[in-house]
């Protein structure tokens, strides 16, 4: 483990999850403060980045509250979506820098956020919370097809399905309901039926500090085959446009309306024929390595900035470069028991390839929607001086990828 450095503050991290998509965060935060990791998994890749480890279930409120009292950190933080509400509450309870827990709960509940945005005139979207198929059919008739059916509080586009008509609602409602049933938050039960938003989809990672929200990285999204909304790639930044500028103004206003402060957020939105519309505000660092793409593209280290905000310090958000970075998620061509991920050509032939990683061990089952979601064998990150160059390099890598396995 890393040695403590005299004079540095101590930051407590709740959970670490998997290395491929998360190590850059621990590395960045460990450069800012001595990290104390609360987790209940075997330490491997985390060791070089942390100062202390406490073996505990990070969801156990009583246990972690006791550890906070013992360790007396200068701040606490998490990038685990499920732990964000608990961390906000514990930081408040222990007098540490924090985000208002009420604002966190508001954004975690997609229906509550929809209600707030509608009330504030910030891009109204038709929606309804439903508890069964009959209610879903009625809501869709009222809103008008096509609609989007989704769990009320989950992330990663898991269980999000475009519904074109009543027959598809009958077919797909059990899929979304079964996914929601895997999670046990009784306060956010039910599913959401929403007006379908046409137009391209984007995300923006922002940092809010002392009441000022700074949108930092806009990412253009690549989505997988309909009717699902699997996120299969991101490019930072997309080509500039006045519509994106308008969307960022909407995002900033939504942060203020929700009462968000002292945190990093990942907001998803679409540029529709009616103007920009927010899909959701995630009260955490973005996933899929998007903050790392932002670092490669702009030089701004959002993970380090998030650590400083959690410690009550001003973040450094100075842009030092202007490039483009992209990530492509690598999926199997069919449902399989995964064996290998490789390149058909010498890696040196793929200009701009920054990372090429397998994300799972051999033997894992990968099932494509609707049988499974996020069936990623690995990913590739590429960079380029311009958007066009980066996208061309990304496509060249995609053509060279080979995934092998045994069909299920």
Domain match, 343 and 373 both = yes
Q: Give pLDDT tens digits for 13-36.
A: 999 988 999 999 999 999 999 999
Task: Return the closest-CA partner of residue 221 out of 316, 147, 156.
Answer: 156
- 374 pLDDT tier (thresholds 50, 70, 90): confident
- Of 297, 318, 339, the one marking the end of a domain is 318
Judgement on whether residues 215 and 300 belong to the same structural domain of the protein: yes
- 79 lies in the same domain as 187: no
**Does the pLDDT value for residue 68 go beyond 90?**
yes
DSSP 51-93: SEEEES-TT-HHHHHHHHHHH--SEEE---GGGHHHHHHHHHH
User: Using one digit for the tens of pLDDT, what is the confidence trace for 224-238?
Assistant: 888 988 899 999 999
**Phi then psi dihedrals of residue 359, to 5 deg:** -100, -10
List, in sequence order, every residue forming a beta bridge with 194; answer none if it has no partner.
127, 148
Indicate the number of domains in the chain: 4
Cα 390 from chain centroid?
Answer: 22
Residues 305 and 221 in one domain: yes
Q: Is residue 121 part of a domain?
A: no
Query: Do residue 147 and residue 220 come from a single domain?
Result: no
Report the alpha-carbon distance of residue 19 to residue 206 in Å, rounded.
Answer: 23
Region of poorest pLDDT, from 137-146, 150-159, 199-208, 332-341: 150-159
In a domain, 117, yes or no: no
**How many angstroms separate the CA atoms of 131 and 141, rounded?**
16
User: Among 154, 172, 195, where does a domain finish?
Assistant: 195
Domain, as residue range, for 219: 198-318
Q: Are residues 384 and 358 in the same domain?
A: yes
CATH code, 330: 3.30.470.20
Does residue 110 form part of some domain? no
203 plus 312 within the same structural domain:
yes
Rounded to whole angstroms, the Cα distance separating 366 from 334 reads 8
Q: Are residues 188 and 202 in the same domain?
A: no
pLDDT score for 187: 64
Q: What is the mean pLDDT of the chain?
A: 94
Domain boundary among 318, 346, 375: 318
74 found inside a domain = yes
Closest C-alpha to 56, from 14, 26, 117: 14
Burial class for 376, CB neighbours closer than 10 Å (0-12, 13-18, 19+): buried
Would residue 116 count as lying in a domain? no
Rounded Cα distance, 203 and 238, in Å: 10
Q: Are residues 135 and 56 in the same domain?
A: no
The confidence score (pLDDT) of residue 315 equals 97
- Is the same domain home to 217 and 299? yes
Identify the residue whose tokens are 């999204």: 221
Range with the poorest average pLDDT among 63-72, 114-123, 147-156, 362-371: 147-156
Q: CA 109 to CA 115: how far, in whole Å?
A: 10
The string of DSSP codes covering 146-213 is SEEEEESS--TTTT-EEE-SHHHHHHHHHHHHHHHHTS--GGG-SEEEEEPPPS-EEEEEEEEETTEE
- Reference 11, options 296, 303, 318, 210; nearest CA is 303
Q: Strand 324-330 and strand 231-236: pairing?
A: antiparallel
User: Which pLDDT score, from 0 to 100, does residue 83 have?
Assistant: 95
pTM of the entire predicted model: 0.93
- 91 in the same domain as 19: yes
Tell whether the model's pLDDT for residue 4 goes beyond 70.
Answer: no
Could you write out the three-class secondary structure of 165-178? CHHHHHHHHHHHHH
- H/E element, 130: strand 127-130
314 and 289 share a domain?
A: yes
How many residues are present in the chain? Answer: 408
Distance CA(1)–CA(287), nearest Å, equals 25
- Strand arrangement, sheet containing 365-366: 365-366, 336-343, 401-407
Q: Report pLDDT digits (tens) over 311-350.
A: 999 999 999 999 999 999 999 999 999 999 999 999 999 9
Q: Quick check: is 118 in a domain? A: no
Indicate which CATH number applies to the domain containing 152: 3.30.1490.20
Asked if the structure places residue 241 within a domain, the reply is yes
Task: Give the distance from CA 223 to its chain's centroid.
Answer: 14
Within a domain: residue 172?
A: yes
Three-class DSSP category at 23? helix
């Amino acid at each position: 483990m890393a040695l403590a450095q005299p004079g540095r503050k101590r930051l407590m991290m709740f959970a670490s999850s998997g290395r491929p998509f998360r190590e850059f965060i621990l590395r960045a935060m460990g450069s800012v403060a001595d990290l104390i990791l609360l987790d209940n998994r075997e330490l491997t890749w985390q060791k070089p980045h942390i100062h202390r480890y406490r073996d505990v279930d990070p969801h156990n409120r009583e246990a972690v509250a006791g550890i906070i009292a013992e360790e007396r950190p200068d701040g606490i933080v998490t990038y685990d979506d499920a732990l964000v509400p608990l961390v906000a509450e514990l930081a408040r309870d222990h007098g540490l820098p924090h985000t208002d827990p009420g604002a966190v709960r508001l954004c975690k509940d997609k229906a509550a956020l929809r209600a707030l945005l509608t009330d504030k005139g910030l891009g109204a979207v038709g929606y309804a919370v439903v508890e069964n198929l009959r209610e879903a059919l009625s809501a869709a008739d009222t809103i008008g097809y096509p609609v989007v059916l989704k769990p009320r509080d989950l992330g990663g586009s898991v269980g999000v399905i475009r519904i074109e008509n009543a027959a598809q609602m009958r077919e797909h409602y059990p899929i979304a309901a079964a996914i929601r049933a895997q999670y046990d938050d009784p306060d956010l039960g039910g599913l959401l039926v929403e007006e379908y938003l046409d137009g391209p989809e984007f995300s923006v990672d922002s940092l809010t500090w002392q009441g000022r929200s700074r949108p930092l990285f806009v990412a253009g999204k690549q989505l997988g085959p309909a009717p699902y909304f699997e996120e299969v790639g991101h490019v930072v930044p997309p080509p500039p446009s006045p519509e994106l500028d308008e969307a960022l103004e909407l995002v900033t206003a939504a942060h203020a309306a929700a009462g968000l402060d002292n945190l990093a957020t990942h907001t998803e939105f679409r540029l529709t024929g009616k103007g920009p519309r927010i899909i959701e505000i995630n009260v955490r660092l973005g996933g899929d390595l998007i903050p790392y793409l932002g670092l490669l593209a702009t030089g701004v280290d959002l993970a380090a900035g998030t650590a400083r905000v959690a410690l009550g310090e001003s973040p450094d958000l100075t842009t030092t470069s202007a490039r483009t970075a992209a990530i492509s998620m690598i999926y199997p061509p069919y449902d399989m028991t995964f064996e290998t991920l490789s390149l058909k050509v010498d890696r040196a032939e793929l200009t701009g390839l920054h990372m090429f990683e397998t994300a799972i061990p051999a033997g894992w089952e990968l099932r494509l929607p609707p049988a499974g979601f996020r069936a990623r064998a690995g990913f590739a990150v590429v960079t380029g001086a311009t958007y066009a160059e980066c996208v061309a390099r990304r496509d060249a890598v995609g053509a060279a990828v080979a995934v092998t396995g045994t069909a299920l």
